[in-house]
Structure 1
């Protein structure tokens, strides 16, 4: 009989026994018939047949054992018995399952995010393990125009790599974009991708409907340009209509035919970020209304990400070595003509490298990789505390089952068999905790996604229960079973049967079990201090960021971005129209001030370049960041003017170039002091004169990208003198009334001034809050885990102290009878609790030091070994420990000496 049939028989034993009875009865009847045929009377034949057959019951059991898997039968029996025991003690089961579920659920929720962002292969992509991404060895050795979530390259570099490389069967390029779907009014955007024509071919993605891009659409004429829709966008915008192919879609002022629809599973190459439409790269030339904005021609426009499919026999290491070898020629070929000699030297030193891209290129993963692993460690520590708590409960439960274990050993059960039975009960708890934990994980993971999602960057992740999640959760169930189940099972069966049945307990056995329970409490306190210290550090980091000097006051400021890329508007008309819009906004009720700006703070967009003080050599150039602002900008942002003046309406393009710089600019470029009246030059394309600016004012330092960054040197130039300023502008509006009314008023006046303008509104302090989203996540989640750890530790300490007081009941009664005062008994209980807490704190301080050192890069405004924070954590745990010991201590005072002595 096969193993599978024998295993199946374990679960159908009634059928098996019935069949065995029929088979054995058949053999006995056959033997009786043979004897009767030989002349023996029927009665004697039956007796003789049974004698020859042997012990019927023994034969039946032996045959049954041959037809089942013995260990599986024992396991099933243990599971059934364990289930009955857990059902009897429902309070214990509920506490145990919930404790495990919280720990396992928290770990699984974070693992689901890591799995979705990093571990899961790209869906709908053929052989994703062959995908590799190109990157630069030195990420920040270039300057120019950056518009990408990942490491970005120029179109010239994409072409050069495609011509020179031998490692890939194909190399694709893509960049991110946002396309407006409306013809006027408030913008409604579709998340877009700029893609090379071989994008779908290299990925091996076959459209669910229609076709992909023709190869010729990489050419500048875009003769066969069209778009491919994502499946979700097709369903959302077109109702899943099959007639969509060939229809036109309006994208940012142009209508393009729809070529196809991607499969429902395809998410692109950036897990977590959805895309709606894919547009060929050549369309960038058509969307750029001025030659300088055409990124296909600009060698300093960093906007594309490159991914290749490795040829057969190639791996990432070999491909990286090959790409490194051809890098010098590619960088030489694609050198931006605007780079001065010092920038050019840095550029030519760079090299390409190759990285694995089988799971995609998640910008979110890169931003949250360290925080997620830290939170996973924190959740793991919570699970360890829960396991220690549960082990304590099992040890207490084992004390009440000592007689049961003794009776079972007395009737023949081996100690190994009893340990297996108890471990099976623990495994049942772990399985139940994992099942409930999966439910908690689904809720928690969706909560984390909602936490990380904002209006500008909706987070779309598949949290499907795949084999990675199943394996992780199953592994946690087995691990937790070993952690909390084995030691209590061994201790529960360690008392000699004779001693247990006599109702006594040996001093050695009691001391050993109590030492184990004390050790578990010490572990809980130590881990709790680690978690609490981390939570306090992350909380202070968030507070430090939110109270950091940003150089501006974002509260009450509305950001209104206007896109005026309309064919009927010339640059001169736009300039006049933007001034008219500014005047109309300023006249709105409740508006205090308004100013124009090309790049709003904390928007993520940037403009940098090299500047030189007057008379400095090329080698003395310093990196600076720029922004174009209008009159009243610093007043609107409440950025203090330190020296000089602000821009005025008289600072026009016909006048000399001027600039206002911040204090950091003055320090870096001029060595400090008052720079008003001094001159500096900024980089220009080779062969062209560098523009020279005279500084007319200096303002306080302000943040540029986010609160965490150090102050950058920034030069502000008037919007009227900015050569890069053309078809869009942002208005910073400070209002003293609710911003909802201000938004409605601006929307109305935009329509009155010009039909077809696109406007997008943001609240500046919300943008600031989004810039610290990672830190807010760390503070919130670690804080919640820290509170949970303190509660679990307090419960564990309470349980041990209550058990100790109950076991020493007679001792306390005798002490009280002999004249000891209540303070003496309280001192005994609190000293015991204090020893456990102090030892746990000592161990925890060591662990907290190394754990915080690992997380140093996530902190801001304080060191990982901040003693005040550590002292606060220790004090909080000490108070918690005292509170947990208070109830058992008061209970010890209520023992009646007369009752105790009569019992003794």
Structure 2
């Protein structure tokens, strides 16, 4: 490749430029000549002829004089040549030029990069969560081969332990023995929490019940020691050992390399540590990381009489398998369907009544893809995250529209430069590429800072969703590809249009135009107005969405829960480690409750089997006058004073008292919903009912002695459900744990300290756990709070961006019409008329955008209807409020340039060119 720098240096010698400036020009023009040389050579022009052609073309031009003209017009460089031939020719020179051009406008560059970084960062952060929750495969060997084996009908009859507990232990054994389509099958589940403390306040580890085949089937190799194998898991195995996770090993044992052989106490039982899993393996559920894995057969040791392992109607397992080569999910499902009849027949619980047995025997097994594992987090947050990604994408579109307006304004100031470059021989394609390189450079800067922002935002969102939540946020190709794709897309969105418009006019027309250039044409102004109106429309959608989600959250929190949530502390007490006989449990509970009630500052206290919003509970079908009702009822066991403590009004009848004993008439208190729906009356006092029981169980008849107000139990979004309360003194089976609800205005820290002392005085082996009721209710609304918070943030950002865009268009229009405004004022127009003229133009743009925005909101809001509470997707009040808010902000934005125009001196304005 010839070096053209000496040739160019000779042409510029008479200018006597400073050394650095001359070197810069020489380098750039030499690059253009190199591009021209490459173009000629690509057309098979001999080397010597190509050199002569370039020298002749350069000699025919007065390069020094052309450079003087360009310098007078304020351009940065001389542009020569077309760079024909290969499309990538001159890209390095384009990049250098773009860097110099952006460096010369630091404020413009900073605004563009910051806007893009915010938009790209927000979108990438939410996409990273979606990637981790929805798209990422399990960190095991060949996860695409994994299938979940479960009934096609997920309805369970009996006791359940977890959202994905689709199988009983008996069904797992049948599948293990009869299946043919899987090379390996394994079971896991229960998701227990193991208390590591030996008395006092509880300290929990996230557990995982696993079959002996679990680790081998997944291909998980131990980091230290060994994992569980099939021989470790057999009926009556007792305490075999535990496998701990890498994070638990680091947290609890400081990464001790000699941890194998030590013991970990789980619910008071010492389990020898067999091994440590690698850091990459977190379990089978997205959103939850296990700490300790224990074989299925050890479950009776931990749970004692309430174990699921030996319970025929205990649904507690998730069963998966690895497909054999040549087998598909459909083929495996067909084989499972064929063995379903015998599997369910062999495992039919003998306690089931005829109708329940028929329902159970009618179930069918099938195989479902399980490469992504299971996830309650996915089910709860997938739709909101997709919605938030759409919202963040809309904000990015608004930012791109703003940047497109900025690029249009920048292009108008560079039209004379572009004209001279084209007049000097640069082709339109080459200049268009140069302008696009500038846009890509800005977008790349925005993407880099946006990705850095995204990694911090995604972790902040995970912490916002829950302290114990585990989401694998390791960066993978999808996240990086998404960020890079956004950068390319935004560069095209805000850079392509202005670049095309800046280069499509003829150089002669641009050179002969007035000082304002081609940007003053009606076509370009119209484009900027369309962009602003579009911003207003999209902004209205986002503002309306923010108002809908925040309004939905306010309605949920403001509704009457049926109890007073402030000042209530729930103390969970577990004394299973004391191994008390059943007859000794009730006296201990009474002693504890009496001591708690005697603590100074406690207004009232009561015991309850399952406190509201604590995540546990049970329900049954009710039998009234010999007829089983279709609607189930939530059931709970309480002591006297519970309704006083919760401040749930007793509407009629009486509370439980000392007369309600184990030998007296069984009594119950029901809520309004129970009385109306199940008993068909508003006055249930004296009515009787039974609870559906299994064959062979006693069926006591309960007499209703009181009715209380409806109250929420598990979710503030749920409608009120039928509820029945039974006295603890008539409880048919006394559990080795209880919950005490305490109402007090004491400081929570001092209250908990007093309760710890009370528990330790009664028995130091009792395990305690404290929950603030208000906080638990707020935690149950994390999804709603996430939507309200983020949509509110994006709504405010959108409205500000729209206001900035409107301000830019109006301010630019005022500057373009300075001469016209001066003439109007010289002819007698008062300042108020000038303000009204400019503001009315802004109002027309805003109203136009708002009209389209309202229509767009009604259309897109339907997709979010299921996430709203007490509001419709097209709520007129919210739409009106959004439109008014947007209108007010936009009017303020337009008033600033309008007032500035009204203050112009007419004579100064008339002298404007």
TM-score by length of 2: 0.89
Q: Which residue of 1 aligns with 2:587?
A: 576
The secondary structure found in structure 2 opposite 1:886 is helix
Q: Deviations over 1:96-126 (max 9, x none)?
A: 0010011100001011111112222222x11
Q: Which of 864, 881, 888 is residue 873 of structure 2 equivalent to? A: 864
Q: Which of 816, 824, 832 is residue 825 of structure 2 equivalent to? A: 816
CA separation of 1:724 and 1:304: change in aligned 2, threshold 3 A: farther
- Residue 901 (str. 1) matches residue 910 (str. 2): yes
Q: Deviations over 1:452-511 (max 9, x none)?
A: 113xxx012232221111111111111111111110101111332112222426889711
Do 1:216 and 1:224's aligned partners in 2 also have CA atoms closer than 8 Å? no
Query: 74-83 or 515-524: which moved more?
Result: 74-83
Q: Deviations over 1:401-453 (max 9, x none)?
A: 00011001001111111111111110111100000101111121111011011
- Residue 613 (str. 1) matches residue 627 (str. 2): no
Q: Which residue of 2 aligns with 1:362?
A: 375
Query: 656-665 or 536-545: which moved more?
Result: 656-665
Q: How many residues align?
A: 844
The secondary structure found in structure 2 opposite 1:855 is helix
In the aligned structure 2, how far is the partner of 1:53 from the partner of 1:837?
61
Unaligned runs of 5+ in 1: 2-12, 22-51
Q: Which residue of 2 aligns with 1:763?
A: 772
- Residue 374 (str. 1) matches residue 387 (str. 2): yes
Deviation at 1:902, TM superposition (A): 4.2
In the aligned structure 2, how far is the partner of 1:85 from the partner of 1:804?
25
Do 1:339 and 1:683's aligned partners in 2 also have CA atoms closer than 8 Å? no
In the aligned structure 2, how far is the partner of 1:508 from the partner of 1:272?
54
- Residue 424 (str. 1) matches residue 437 (str. 2): yes
- Residue 173 (str. 1) matches residue 182 (str. 2): no
Do 1:220 and 1:285's aligned partners in 2 also have CA atoms closer than 8 Å? no
Q: Which residue of 2 aligns with 1:475?
A: 485
CA separation of 1:585 and 1:418: change in aligned 2, threshold 3 A: same
Q: Which residue of 2 aligns with 1:599?
A: 610
In the aligned structure 1, how far is the partner of 2:48 from the partner of 2:152?
83
In the aligned structure 1, how far is the partner of 2:732 from the partner of 2:218?
40
Q: Which residue of 1 aligns with 2:318?
A: 305
Do 1:111 and 1:376's aligned partners in 2 also have CA atoms closer than 8 Å? yes
In the aligned structure 2, how far is the partner of 1:740 from the partner of 1:466?
43
Deviation at 1:359, TM superposition (A): 2.0
Q: Which of 425, 429, 453 is residue 412 of structure 1 equivalent to? A: 425
In the aligned structure 2, how far is the partner of 1:421 from the partner of 1:236?
55
Following superposition of structure 1 onto structure 2, how do residues 64-79 of structure 1 map, counting pairs within 5 Å? 70-79=86-95
In the aligned structure 2, how far is the partner of 1:353 from the partner of 1:846?
45
Q: Which residue of 2 aligns with 1:832?
A: 841
Q: Which of 576, 584, 593 is residue 565 of structure 1 equivalent to? A: 576
Do 2:582 and 2:734's aligned partners in 1 also have CA atoms closer than 8 Å? no
Q: Which residue of 2 aligns with 1:36?
A: none
Q: Which of 259, 272, 277 is residue 244 of structure 1 equivalent to? A: 259
In the aligned structure 2, how far is the partner of 1:310 from the partner of 1:814?
83
The secondary structure found in structure 2 opposite 1:288 is helix
Q: Which residue of 2 aligns with 1:399?
A: 412
Q: Deviations over 1:521-552 (max 9, x none)?
A: 01110110111111101001111111122111
Do 2:119 and 2:395's aligned partners in 1 also have CA atoms closer than 8 Å? yes
In the aligned structure 1, how far is the partner of 2:621 from the partner of 2:47?
103
In the aligned structure 2, how far is the partner of 1:590 from the partner of 1:88?
70
The secondary structure found in structure 1 opposite 2:523 is helix
Following superposition of structure 1 onto structure 2, how do residues 92-131 of structure 1 map, counting pairs within 5 Å? 92-123=108-139, 125-131=140-146
Deviation at 1:400, TM superposition (A): 0.2
- Residue 186 (str. 1) matches residue 197 (str. 2): no
Query: 169-178 or 214-223: which moved more?
Result: 214-223
TM-score by length of 1: 0.90
Deviation at 1:893, TM superposition (A): 0.9
Do 1:142 and 1:343's aligned partners in 2 also have CA atoms closer than 8 Å? no
The secondary structure found in structure 2 opposite 1:566 is helix
Q: Deviations over 1:355-385 (max 9, x none)?
A: 3221221221111011111101110001100
CA separation of 1:58 and 1:565: change in aligned 2, threshold 3 A: farther
Query: 395-404 or 507-516: which moved more?
Result: 507-516
The secondary structure found in structure 2 opposite 1:171 is strand
- Residue 210 (str. 1) matches residue 225 (str. 2): yes
Deviation at 1:332, TM superposition (A): 3.7
Do 1:813 and 1:896's aligned partners in 2 also have CA atoms closer than 8 Å? yes
The secondary structure found in structure 2 opposite 1:460 is coil
In the aligned structure 2, how far is the partner of 1:97 from the partner of 1:382?
15
In the aligned structure 2, how far is the partner of 1:216 from the partner of 1:691?
45
Deviation at 1:180, TM superposition (A): 1.0
Q: Which residue of 2 aligns with 1:261?
A: 276
CA separation of 1:757 and 1:503: change in aligned 2, threshold 3 A: same
Q: Which residue of 2 aligns with 1:7?
A: none
State the Cα RMSD in Å: 2.4
In the aligned structure 1, how far is the partner of 2:538 from the partner of 2:354?
56
CA separation of 1:779 and 1:226: change in aligned 2, threshold 3 A: same
Q: Which of 173, 185, 199 is residue 159 of structure 1 equivalent to? A: 173
Q: Deviations over 1:179-238 (max 9, x none)?
A: 111211111111111111111011111111212223233322115711001011112212
Deviation at 1:387, TM superposition (A): 0.5
Q: Which residue of 2 aligns with 1:445?
A: 458
- Residue 674 (str. 1) matches residue 690 (str. 2): no
Query: 881-890 or 168-177: which moved more?
Result: 168-177
Q: Which residue of 1 aligns with 2:501?
A: 491
Following superposition of structure 1 onto structure 2, how do residues 776-855 of structure 1 map, counting pairs within 5 Å? 776-855=785-864
The secondary structure found in structure 2 opposite 1:624 is strand
Do 1:612 and 1:621's aligned partners in 2 also have CA atoms closer than 8 Å? no
Q: Which residue of 2 aligns with 1:548?
A: 559
Do 1:202 and 1:309's aligned partners in 2 also have CA atoms closer than 8 Å? yes
In the aligned structure 1, how far is the partner of 2:579 from the partner of 2:286?
39
Do 1:495 and 1:509's aligned partners in 2 also have CA atoms closer than 8 Å? no
Do 1:136 and 1:151's aligned partners in 2 also have CA atoms closer than 8 Å? no
Deviation at 1:325, TM superposition (A): 4.5
Q: Deviations over 1:241-268 (max 9, x none)?
A: 2222122221111111111111111110
- Residue 515 (str. 1) matches residue 541 (str. 2): no
Deviation at 1:577, TM superposition (A): 1.1
Q: Which residue of 2 aligns with 1:222?
A: 237
Q: Which residue of 1 aligns with 2:402?
A: 389
In the aligned structure 2, how far is the partner of 1:437 from the partner of 1:506?
35
Q: Which of 148, 152, 174 is residue 137 of structure 1 equivalent to? A: 152
Do 2:415 and 2:518's aligned partners in 1 also have CA atoms closer than 8 Å? no
Do 1:217 and 1:223's aligned partners in 2 also have CA atoms closer than 8 Å? no
CA separation of 1:647 and 1:58: change in aligned 2, threshold 3 A: farther
Q: Which of 745, 758, 763 is residue 754 of structure 1 equivalent to? A: 763
The secondary structure found in structure 2 opposite 1:272 is coil
